[in-house]
């Protein structure tokens, strides 16, 4: 999604979901087929660091000097950041209502993805939230369902794949789109099914654009974490992968969270 997870993309949402955890492979993701104990113990990382979720930034030069430069030094600095600051000047209730509207649209995917994860309770809550907020809540601008005690059960397909044991794969800083991995790109493609169903990709682009502006505005107070980092690219990569792995296995990630990470930043926005 356009810029959705841009800048640091370490969004740690509060959600209740199934306790199923990913059973990641203990082998290096770059290893060939391992038919012996000796092969399983060999180092196939070729000097590259194994990142959270068994991800590897195997094309670092391209994504660092091309993808990152386009996204951070050009698009964010001269386009998205100024627009986000302008959006942030709108009255709080307007921003809240717009955020509720965007979140309500995601309830369609939440319903399906929770069902795929074999969590009928969460799927049912997501469906009820969509129906309630789309009607009583005036197309979702008012989060009536939360007032009724039906809290969001956010679930994207990338997280579903992770909980079924799929590793992150290669890390990518995709021009225009922002940070992602092979698993998340696959998940995002699957999650676009509602727009495929209504055959309206133009609508998807518009919604993603407005969602990018709204989410980017939530990061204004945290811009210094990236702007003042010794290595902004590496900082963003670490935050993003930690966030995504935290969605898959929140219990394990919570134990590994370092004390020097600003927890208020982790709670800022979703996802993505």
Name the helix (H) or strand (E) containing 178.
Answer: strand 178-181
Per DSSP, helices labelled H in 50-91 are 60-62, 68, 81-88
229 Cβ neighbours under 8 A, 6+ residues apart: 235
User: Two tokens at 267?
Assistant: 């709670």
Summarised one tens digit per residue, pLDDT across range 182-239 is 999 999 999 999 999 988 889 999 999 999 999 999 999 989 999 999 999 999 999 9
Distance between CA atoms of residues 102 and 215, nearest Å? 10
Residue length of the chain = 272
Instruction: Report in angstroms the alpha-carbon separations of 135 from 131, 138, 140, 149.
Output: 6, 5, 8, 17
Nearest residue to 217 (alpha-carbon basis) of 74, 88, 80: 88
Q: What is the pLDDT of residue 31?
A: 54
| pLDDT greater than 70 at residue 34 | no
In the three-class reduction of DSSP (H, G, I as helix; E, B as strand; rest coil), residue 170 is classed as strand
Q: How far is CA 113 from the centre of its chain?
A: 14
Instruction: Report in angstroms the alpha-carbon separations of 220 from 55, 73, 82, 204.
Output: 28, 16, 10, 25
| 51: phi then psi, degrees, rounded to nearest 5 | -95, 170
Q: What is the pLDDT of residue 195?
A: 92
Summarised one tens digit per residue, pLDDT across range 41-92 is 555 555 567 888 889 999 999 999 999 999 999 999 999 999 999 999 999 9
Domain map of the chain by residue range?
57-266
């Amino acid at each position: 999604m356009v810029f959705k997870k841009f800048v640091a993309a370490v969004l740690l949402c509060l959600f209740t979901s199934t306790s199923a955890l990913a059973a990641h492979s203990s082998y290096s993701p770059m290893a060939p087929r391992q038919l012996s104990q000796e092969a399983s113990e060999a180092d196939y990382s070729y000097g590259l660091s194994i990142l959270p979720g068994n991800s590897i930034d195997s094309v670092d030069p391209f994504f660092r000097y091309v993808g990152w430069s386009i996204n951070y030094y050009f698009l964010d600095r001269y386009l998205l950041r100024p627009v986000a600051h302008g959006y942030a000047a709108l009255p709080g209730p307007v921003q809240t209502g717009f955020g509720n509207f965007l979140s309500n649209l995601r309830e369609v995917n939440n319903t399906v993805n929770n069902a795929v994860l074999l969590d009928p309770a969460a799927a049912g809550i997501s469906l009820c939230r969509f129906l309630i907020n789309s009607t009583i809540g005036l197309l979702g601008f008012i989060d009536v369902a939360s007032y009724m005690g039906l809290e969001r059960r956010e679930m994207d397909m990338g997280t579903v794949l992770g909980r079924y044991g799929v590793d992150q794969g290669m890390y990518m800083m995709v021009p225009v789109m922002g940070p992602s991995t092979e698993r998340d790109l696959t998940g995002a493609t699957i999650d676009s099914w509602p727009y495929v169903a209504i055959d309206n990709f133009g609508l998807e682009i518009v919604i993603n654009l407005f969602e990018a502006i709204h989410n980017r505005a939530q990061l204004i107070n945290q811009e210094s974490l990236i702007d003042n980092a010794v290595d902004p690219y590496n900082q963003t990569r670490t935050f993003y992968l930690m966030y995504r792995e935290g969605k898959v296995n929140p219990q394990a990630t919570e134990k590994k969270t370092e004390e020097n990470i600003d927890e208020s930043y982790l709670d800022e926005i979703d996802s993505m």
